[in-house]
């Protein structure tokens, strides 16, 4: 039978095997989806809704100043009022403890000039508390200027920018991170079949036939590419339609990044399989690698917040370059022409080549033990 026909058969058989294995479905699709949804709901603001803080106001006495401050506060758009009427100090304590409100603002009483914020101890350092404090601070400052009758000369306006598109949001960042992670894990964990095939004597059995093992590998890789494409499509659909992610696709960049990355991570999986005597050993190794990279490669959070000593570690990990490549191709909408992109692809490719070469060497050296 010709090579092409043989490859077709091998590809078909491996495709069937992959889609019949429930584990594949769980780990390569269900698990990344769950992980992405959780992260997006917690950190992504759940569908791009704006920041809102629920508050109430305590007004010890109705003075001119407190009336005026209350009036201004009601105009701050991000504050949501739990109660239209001012509440008592006791009620305020109760509401904060029960987390009915994010904060209670205590307006100044007679002959007082300070505004108070009551927050739950648990939330003392939360982003919401910080934001409310920030808003109040600015608000008090503005009021002071007005009372003093001066106009501020300088003001700060923050605009978030990223390379390429103006509207890169955390959701886009997370979506592309999850896609890279899912494809990488597909490779890292996917070679568990090899361990199982070796343990059961199937690799040995194949060597008794004239089949070309290279074709078997190519067929398997084609199947993994298909799985990767399915992952990208499904995660993107959920990200875009469920969480409002905005993609700027650049197909040449995406295709190059995806192919090189998928090959590199499958090569790593192949290397792990070469020295794993059992499925447990293999899974342990793949898990360690995947966890380390998940947090050190900027999947969920940008690496810029890392302590300085950690940066070099992040800079050698292949997932760092893979996720950058995927982001270049999916949200930055650029890359194929940039030197940075190709440097990253080069490092990724180097990881793949070294891992594959080592794997081949170890497979040749170790005698296959069949149980």
Partner 1 sequence: MAILEVKGLRKAFGSVQAVEEISFSVENGEVFTIIGPNGAGKTTTLEMIEGMQAPDRGTISISGMTWDKDADRIKTIIGVQPQSSALFDLLTVEENLDLFGSFYPHSKQSSEVLEMINLTDHRRKNVKSLSGGQRQRLAIGLAMISDPQIIFLDEPTTGLDPQARRNIWDIVLKLKELGKTTILTTHYMEEAEKLSDRVCIVDQGRVVTLDSPANLIDSLTKEREVRLYFQDGESAAAETEQVAKGDSTVVRTELDGSSLKLWSVRPEETLYGVFGFTKEKGYRVEQVSIREMSLEDVFIAFTGKEWRD
Residues of this chain that bind partner 1 (CB under 8 A): 1, 5-6, 9-10, 13, 16-17, 20-21, 200-202, 204-211, 370-371
**Which residue, 25 or 43, has its beta carbon nearer to partner 1?**
25
State in angstroms the smallest separation of the CB of 355 from partner 1: 26
State in angstroms the smallest separation of the CB of 14 from partner 1: 9
**Which residue, 76 or 211, has its beta carbon nearer to partner 1?**
211
Backbone angles phi, psi at 69, to 5 degrees: -60, -40
89-106 in b/e form (b: 16+ CB < 10 A) is eeebeebbeeeebbbbbb
State in angstroms the smallest separation of the CB of 278 from partner 1: 16
State in angstroms the smallest separation of the CB of 268 from partner 1: 24
**Which residue, 13 or 230, has its beta carbon nearer to partner 1?**
13
State in angstroms the smallest separation of the CB of 33 from partner 1: 24
d(CA 178, CA 172): 10
State in angstroms the smallest separation of the CB of 20 from partner 1: 5
d(CA 354, CA 298): 23
State in angstroms the smallest separation of the CB of 277 from partner 1: 15
d(CA 155, CA 136): 16
State in angstroms the smallest separation of the CB of 6 from partner 1: 6
**Which residue, 337 or 368, has its beta carbon nearer to partner 1?**
368
**Which residue, 16 or 52, has its beta carbon nearer to partner 1?**
16
d(CA 129, CA 108): 20
Instruction: Reduce the DSSP state of residue 107 to 3 states and report it.
Output: coil
Q: Are 70 and 59 in contact (CB under 8 A)?
A: yes
**Which residue, 27 or 306, has its beta carbon nearer to partner 1?**
27
**Which residue, 26 or 81, has its beta carbon nearer to partner 1?**
26
Tokens describing residue 238: 């959920």
Sheet holding 79-81, edge to edge: 79-81, 53-58, 103-106, 116-118
List C-alpha distances in Å: 165 to 235, 242, 247, 249, 330.
Answer: 21, 21, 10, 11, 11
Contacts of 234 (CB under 8 A, 6+ apart): 29, 33
**Which residue, 195 or 347, has its beta carbon nearer to partner 1?**
195
**Which residue, 8 or 45, has its beta carbon nearer to partner 1?**
8
Contacts of 232 (CB under 8 A, 6+ apart): 179, 183, 258
State in angstroms the smallest separation of the CB of 273 from partner 1: 17
List C-alpha distances in Å: 234 to 66, 146, 207, 231, 238.
Answer: 54, 54, 37, 5, 6
d(CA 284, CA 301): 25
**Which residue, 2 or 113, has its beta carbon nearer to partner 1?**
2
State in angstroms the smallest separation of the CB of 262 from partner 1: 22
3-state secondary structure 142-203: HHHHHHHCCCCCCCCCCCCCCCCCCCCCHHHHHHHHHHHHHHHHHHHHHCHHHHHHHHCCHH
């Amino acid at each position: 039978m010709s090579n092409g026909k043989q490859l077709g058969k091998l590809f078909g058989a491996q495709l069937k095997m992959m889609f019949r294995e429930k584990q594949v479905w769980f780990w390569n699709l269900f698990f990344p989806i769950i992980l992405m949804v959780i992260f997006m709901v917690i950190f992504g603001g759940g569908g791009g809704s704006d920041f809102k803080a629920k508050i109430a106001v305590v007004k010890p006495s109705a003075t001119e100043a407190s009336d005026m401050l209350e009036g201004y506060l009601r105009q701050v758009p991000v504050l949501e009022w739990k109660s239209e009427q001012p509440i008592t100090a006791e009620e305020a304590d109760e509401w904060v403890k029960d987390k009915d409100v994010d904060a209670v603002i205590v307006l100044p009483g007679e002959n007082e000039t300070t505004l108070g914020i009551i927050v739950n101890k648990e939330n003392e350092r939360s982003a919401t508390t910080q934001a409310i404090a920030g808003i109040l601070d600015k608000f008090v400052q503005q009021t002071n200027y007005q009372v003093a009758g001066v106009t501020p000369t300088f003001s700060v306006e923050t605009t978030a920018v990223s390379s390429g598109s103006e509207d890169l949001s955390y959701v886009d960042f997370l979506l592309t991170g999850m896609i890279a992670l899912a494809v990488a894990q597909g490779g890292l964990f996917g070679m568990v079949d090899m361990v199982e095939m070796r343990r059961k004597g199937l690799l040995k059995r194949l060597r008794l036939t004239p089949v070309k093992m290279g074709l078997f590998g190519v067929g398997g890789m084609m199947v993994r590419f298909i799985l990767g494409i399915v992952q990208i499509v499904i995660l993107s659909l959920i990200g875009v339609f469920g969480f409002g992610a905005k993609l700027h696709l650049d197909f040449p960049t995406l295709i190059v990044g995806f192919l090189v990355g998928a090959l590199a991570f499958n090569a790593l999986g192949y290397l792990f399989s070469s020295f794993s005597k059992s499925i447990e050993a293999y899974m342990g190794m793949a898990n360690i690698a995947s966890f380390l990279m998940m947090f050190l490669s900027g999947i969920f959070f940008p690496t810029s917040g890392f302590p300085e000593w950690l940066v070099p570690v992040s800079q050698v990990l292949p997932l760092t370059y893979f996720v950058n490549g995927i982001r270049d191709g999916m949200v930055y909408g650029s890359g194929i022409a940039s030197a940075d992109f190709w440097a990253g692809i080069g490092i990724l490719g180097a990881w793949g080549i070294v891992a594959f070469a080592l794997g081949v060497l170890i497979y040749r050296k170790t005698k296959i033990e069949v149980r």
